[in-house]
Structure 1
Amino acid sequence: MRCISSSSKHRLPQLNPLSPSRTWYLTVGAVGDLREVIKNKKPMDFRDVDADHLILYKFLHPCDDSLENTLRNLTLSLLGKPLFAVHTLSAVFELPPGEGCLHLIVDVLDIRCWIRGRGPETHFSVRIGSGQGLDTLKSRIQADRLFSDVPVAHMKLYKVSTAEADLRECLSTMGEGELLKQGQVLSAVFNDVPFGGEPRVVIEISSGTKAAKFPPSVYRPIEEGNLIQAARNGFLNLCPRQKPSSSGQPSSFRTRQKNAAKYIPCGRPCDSEETIPVTLLHPVFGKFLDDCQTYEITAKDNAFIERMRQAMSCLYDEEGGRIDKVDEALQSYGIHLTVSKIKKTGYEMDGDMSINGHRYVIAEFKNEAGNTSAEPYCQAVSYYLESTRENAPKMPASAIPCFVLVVFGPHIVFAGGAWNLRPTVQILSAPLAFHFHSTDTQNKTTAARHMGALRNALQSLKQYYESMPPASAITPTTSPGLPHLFPYPVSFASLVDDRQINFQYQNQPFEEKLLFFGTREDDGARICIKFVRRYSHEAHLLCASLECAPELLGFERIPGGWFMVVMDALSKDYVPLSRSSLSASAFTDIRKKLKDLHNGGFVHGDIRDTNILVNNNGKFMIVDFDWAGKINEARYPPYVNREDIWRPDGAIDGQIILTEHDDAML
């Protein structure tokens, strides 16, 4: 039997497909055995591929001059179904294969990999069976020395078919290409790549990675020094000073946001965002959001809102007239904006507040929406970058918090600016519209609470920066530090004795999740810290009492609508149920514990393999009680994933979580 390997697709023009190095003869009876024989026959070609992962296709074609052209245009989609291990070759080939023909194709992929943020000259290849999945490909990539410190959870892979001339632009554009999704099989991903073509992927490292060799913010090695400081310096070096009135123009801002090395997470576009929001980098932003709902309004607040309404709703001939009238109203309320220039530049802001060289509010004014070339929010984002350029590298332990206000016509937008490895600006609440009707008490109340919350927040930020040395006196630190900023809470109240326990963060295992590992300062024990919008600590405590959940150590509400959950960290031998070798009888034990949870009056809501962890001894733990709650009360949250995860009928947004749903998912 004559075979050919597809692993040399990109070398077809240089090699004779009929040469002995590309084709060979085999004599064997069954497809399953054939895989082993093929691997043994060509050990160097298939050294990185297990025999079970060799995918074989029947392909009869004369070994003549037309073969190379045929192979050059052949794709997997044209080959039909692969051969199964149980098939006998006598069934596959009903008639004896003819002499002088090619009989089989062994599909093995040589995937060429580029790195987002680097040049086209930096690439390597990964040989892998086409029947393998995305996880295996990421693990193979991780074996390369460039990625030895990068968790696979922090890798995004994009399929690209860009011509060489356009490759450089592709590598510098964030998100360019077709994002490969969890669970995809490589044969399906590359089934349109011709036999004479080349499968290509671009590797994008997300910003939460802890890799010192390959920091996400600048995509280049940093060998020593403070990692946060180095990443911030690297980002700023790639982003030379630019006048915000120019960089805030839609075309200019769009160009920046498409560049993986230069983009600023700000909601434009919404998929380019930091996992850790500004509300978890500094408490002032979360407290502002809480006050927007609970601030107690006084007569002075109401008088100010009426004055602000008059100033904001007026029609002005020029922007300066609006700035003057609105500023007068704000001054009467204790918000004293000044007009100042950014240090070492001629860039003048419409309004700001600072203390000792630390700017803690930036205001960008436009007379009306759409009457200037620069988009006001984009321009304000650029002002935050330029106003923090000097201090951000010198203050690696600080998020450099700052309120960003955008005033255009009768509207005010509230945003928060902060630094991690790069600057980020986040919308904090719905914009206020001050041209409401005089009888509209709801809008009056909303405006009064927002402005009262803003005044409180600015006072807090002023006190925060007053505790620091003047910006001119701060010298850069060079001592090694954290790989990136973690959320600001560094202590929790023990559920056992209400004692305050300090902890230190260690790492963030999944870049896309607000889940962290750390150690307690009192005894050095490993803990898991997560930040969520909802959580049933009662269901967690019940499962912990049943010895099927980690011990819950702390649970508390923090500003901004967040809950901080602290629990024992499980040992590293715990793996998701899907990766374990748990016996069928063990499912009876899991079902029993689930029934005990239901009998206790609670549902879990998200029973799936990743939320059941199993160790080497067969002991299991149920985790992730974000959706859990009381029976007949707990409802599914918005955006329930039903595309990638099987769920029973009725398990959809806003519906009651049933015990039957838990049982069905198990």
Structure 2
Amino acid sequence: MSDNIPPSVEVVKIWSPKEVIIFLESKKDELFLYDEDINIIKKNRVAGSDFLEFSQEDLERWRMPGGPAKRIMNLVNKIKGKSKYHPKQISRSSTPEEENDSTKRRKLEERYAKTVKMGKEASSPSTGAVSSVFSNNQKLYPTIFMGRPFDRIGPPIVLFHNCFGQFLKDISDDNLSIDCEMYFDAQKLMATASQFFTNELSRNLAMEREFAKIIGEPFKPFIYGNDNRADGTLSTNIQDQIAYRLILEVKKELGGTKAEPTLQAGLYYLGYWSEEQSVKVRARCCCPSYIMAVAGPWVCVFGGIYIDMVVIEPLTDFISLIPKSRDDNHVYRIARFLQALKLAMGRLNNFYQNLKLGEPPNDQHFFPYTNTYRDQTSATIKFTYLYPLTDDFYKTLWKAATNSNLIVIKFTQRYNMKAHNICALLGLAPKLLHCSDNEQGFKMIVMDYIDGVPLTKEKISTLDNKVCRSIFNNVKEAIKALHDQELVFADLRRPNILVVEEQNQCKGVLVDFSWCGTHDRDTYPLAMNTEIPWPHDARPGAHLKKIHDNYWLDVLKEDLKLTREIGKVYNGSGWTLIQIEMIYINAYIFRRAAGGSYKSIPKRLANTKCTIVTCPLQQSFETRGIRKSRGMIKDDKCHYLDKRHPSPRMTVYSSWHKNVFLWMTEDDGKQEEGL
């Protein structure tokens, strides 16, 4: 851990008196402490919880000189968050909207403490793994992030411990060395798994026996809480502590019980690791474990980590152990899986055996294990993670510190360095410090930390029109620079725009170039969130297009309240049609005068050729229902208005609250003719 950054309160609380002394010894030079100063603490057998309750009067009463007593108290206050850490180059004041570093670090610790509490107080896994019960618990407090439901996804576990990445390499490695005996064991496992058992216990004993022989060590039963126990565990003893390497849950057949086996195994992971017998291990690492669910002749392996919450991620699909006639490839795949599992157990055992429980705990186990990068001179720069930059656990974005600077660490599977550097040269993106492939299949991106805030609706409400116009022009300039190089930013939503104050002026900068790519050649990610109102042809795997950036510029312009009316294009029969200034789309608002009829929408306008896109302006109206009129106003989907045209033409949105109809058209940036 960096000398500048104190351990967290949660970590210090569990220190023994010996660990307190080790910590003070490490601070001896920094705090100018003598041996006799530290011996006073040692003589009074101060544990971590006592250390946090120190007062200067206590130390002086123990006859410690005033100078060391004051410096130790400053250290205690720093740990408790009463003083803030900021590198010398950075200075800022805390505001309600922008939480300071101490608050965000404390938030991380509180989430961890609550996860531990939930793990200790949870109902039995056999009950909690019933899908309806698990679903309700995930809504109340999502302690386990395992993709159930879809929005309960944590960061990739391969970033937190290299054992998972190595396991994934092994099970896909055609050149993996496999023991000859493993092929025999694989077939024996298949023969056992494919049998029918009269009850769950008999299958459990049979499968446990086969896996124990393959891995080379017996499974042990461990009980925690109110007589809770998994079907089997492989563990490592470290002094008086227990580290769990594998947790096994077996069901007689798929669907044989109400409890879902993968959920139940995940709950066992939470329960085991939340107990006091693992507290010291938990304070020094992310508690990597493998979780194996068996249901009938099917097996699936997950990986689990315990950070500020529990993250569980599938490492394999459900693997069929059903024999196939004369299929050597099937036997080979199962043998390779078993060999990879055996190697994984050995590596994880070595990791826990070498874990130093005598050293002071630190809070870096909350974060990815990679903590160095090479700068442009190839010098190795070490950094310390501070906290996640977002409460969205799915995002792999952290604030960190070197000895002299604040930086941002991001892990992503793709990134466009060229686009980032183009915007950085214009001062419209942070300086990019490093971009390289990580051995776990992710690129590690390092950039300068910019003292800004996301462009949220709350932030926009505090900005005047001049500032909004400046921010929009900054973003527009960055997009133009990218388009001039045939590059598309692609994900120009407000979370990827920061508001930065420089020389008493606010400007907008872009901060995420993960999706950026070449126009009409590169594609959108396959795992993009389809619930977001993207441009109408922006789909998973679809080509990136410049016009999509223009679409988001229109959305941004509307969010910043910078749109303006550019003229009336129709006026009559109690209606006024007003065109709104946009970039990508033509937006029109129908305003109905008093006494005007809903049936008086001009047919000439209804027959106009136009294409429907997602309607950003519609979101700013309080739409309470869609009024139907003469079959022309139907719903918020594409609707055929004119049989002469083979494609959807127009959607009209009705807002009873504001008495406004909104009509969106798209024409690749050209003005619609004939209105």
TM-score if structure 2 supplies the norm length? 0.56
Match of 1:369 in 2: 254
User: For the Cα contact (< 8 Å) 1:305–1:447, is it kept in 2?
Assistant: yes
Residue 568 to residue 327, structure 1, CA distance change in 2 (3 Å):
same
**2:118 matched to 1:235?**
yes
One-letter code aligned to 2:401:
T
CA distance in 1, matches of 2:130, 2:497: 49
Match of 2:162 in 1: 283
1:297-312 paired onto structure 2 within 5 Å: 297-298=176-177, 300=180, 302-312=183-193
Match of 2:291 in 1: 404
**2:492 matched to 1:607?**
yes
User: For the Cα contact (< 8 Å) 1:339–1:349, is it kept in 2?
Assistant: no
CA distance in 2, matches of 1:402, 1:150: 40
SS at match of 1:487: coil
What are the Cα deviations for residues 384-411 of structure 1, in whole angstroms up to 9, with x where unaligned?
Answer: 2332212443332322221110111111
The farther-off stretch of 504-513 and 586-595 is 586-595
Note the residue ranges of structure 1 that are not aligned, 5 or more in a row. 1-147, 155-207, 218-227
Q: Which of the numbers 445, 453, 458 marks the counterpart of 1:565?
A: 445
**C-alpha deviation, 1:665, in angstroms:** 3.3
**C-alpha deviation, 1:624, in angstroms:** 1.1
Q: What is the identity percentage for the equivalent residue pairs of Structure 1 and Structure 2?
A: 28
CA distance in 2, matches of 1:525, 1:563: 21
| Aligned length, in residue pairs | 441
**C-alpha deviation, 1:433, in angstroms:** 1.2
**C-alpha deviation, 1:461, in angstroms:** 1.1
What are the Cα deviations for residues 358-417 of structure 1, in whole angstroms up to 9, with x where unaligned?
Answer: 221111122222334543223323322332212443332322221110111111111122
CA distance in 1, matches of 2:489, 2:433: 20
Residue 214 to residue 612, structure 1, CA distance change in 2 (3 Å):
closer
CA distance in 2, matches of 1:441, 1:547: 59
1:334-345 paired onto structure 2 within 5 Å: 334-342=215-223
One-letter code aligned to 2:250:
F
The farther-off stretch of 299-308 and 361-370 is 299-308
**2:97 matched to 1:212?**
no
User: For the Cα contact (< 8 Å) 1:342–1:386, is it kept in 2?
Assistant: no
One-letter code aligned to 2:510:
I
Residue 210 to residue 483, structure 1, CA distance change in 2 (3 Å):
farther
Note the residue ranges of structure 2 that are not aligned, 5 or more in a row. 1-92, 554-675
User: For the Cα contact (< 8 Å) 1:289–1:560, is it kept in 2?
Assistant: no
Q: Which of the numbers 499, 514, 520 marks the counterpart of 1:626?
A: 514
Q: Which of the numbers 391, 411, 415 marks the counterpart of 1:535?
A: 415
SS at match of 1:381: helix
Q: Which of the numbers 430, 455, 460 marks the counterpart of 1:550?
A: 430
**C-alpha deviation, 1:628, in angstroms:** 1.1
What are the Cα deviations for residues 141-198 of structure 1, in whole angstroms up to 9, with x where unaligned?
Answer: xxxxxxx9998799xxxxxxxxxxxxxxxxxxxxxxxxxxxxxxxxxxxxxxxxxxxx
One-letter code aligned to 2:117:
G
One-letter code aligned to 2:372:
S
One-letter code aligned to 2:305:
A
**C-alpha deviation, 1:612, in angstroms:** 4.1
**2:244 matched to 1:359?**
yes
1:161-560 paired onto structure 2 within 5 Å: 210=104, 212=106, 217=111, 228=112, 230-231=113-114, 233-236=116-119, 238-239=121-122, 243-249=124-130, 253=134, 256-257=137-138, 259-260=140-141, 263-273=143-153, 275-294=154-173, 296-298=175-177, 300=180, 302-323=183-204, 325-327=206-208, 329-342=210-223, 347-356=228-237, 357-372=242-257, 374-388=259-273, 389-394=275-280, 395-435=282-322, 437-438=324-325, 444=331, 446-468=333-355, 482=363, 485-494=366-375, 496-512=376-392, 513-521=395-403, 524-545=404-425, 547-558=427-438, 560=440
**C-alpha deviation, 1:343, in angstroms:** 6.1
One-letter code aligned to 1:529:
I
**C-alpha deviation, 1:519, in angstroms:** 0.9
**C-alpha deviation, 1:332, in angstroms:** 4.9
Residue 361 to residue 535, structure 1, CA distance change in 2 (3 Å):
same
CA distance in 2, matches of 1:572, 1:437: 60
**C-alpha deviation, 1:552, in angstroms:** 1.6
What are the Cα deviations for residues 239-265 of structure 1, in whole angstroms up to 9, with x where unaligned?
Answer: 4xx5544554556655644543x8533
**C-alpha deviation, 1:466, in angstroms:** 0.6
Match of 2:543 in 1: 656
SS at match of 2:172: helix
User: If each structure's helix is expressed as a fraction of its own residues, which one has the higher value?
Assistant: 2
CA distance in 1, matches of 2:116, 2:472: 52
SS at match of 1:287: helix
User: For the Cα contact (< 8 Å) 1:520–1:527, is it kept in 2?
Assistant: yes
Residue 211 to residue 632, structure 1, CA distance change in 2 (3 Å):
same
One-letter code aligned to 1:454:
L
**C-alpha deviation, 1:592, in angstroms:** 5.5
Residue 604 to residue 449, structure 1, CA distance change in 2 (3 Å):
farther
CA distance in 1, matches of 2:491, 2:426: 18
**C-alpha deviation, 1:562, in angstroms:** 2.8
User: For the Cα contact (< 8 Å) 1:415–1:428, is it kept in 2?
Assistant: yes
1:13-162 paired onto structure 2 within 5 Å: none
SS at match of 1:464: helix
CA distance in 2, matches of 1:150, 1:397: 33
**C-alpha deviation, 1:517, in angstroms:** 1.1
SS at match of 2:514: coil
SS at match of 2:313: strand
1:562-601 paired onto structure 2 within 5 Å: 562-572=442-452, 581-582=466-467, 591=476, 593-601=478-486
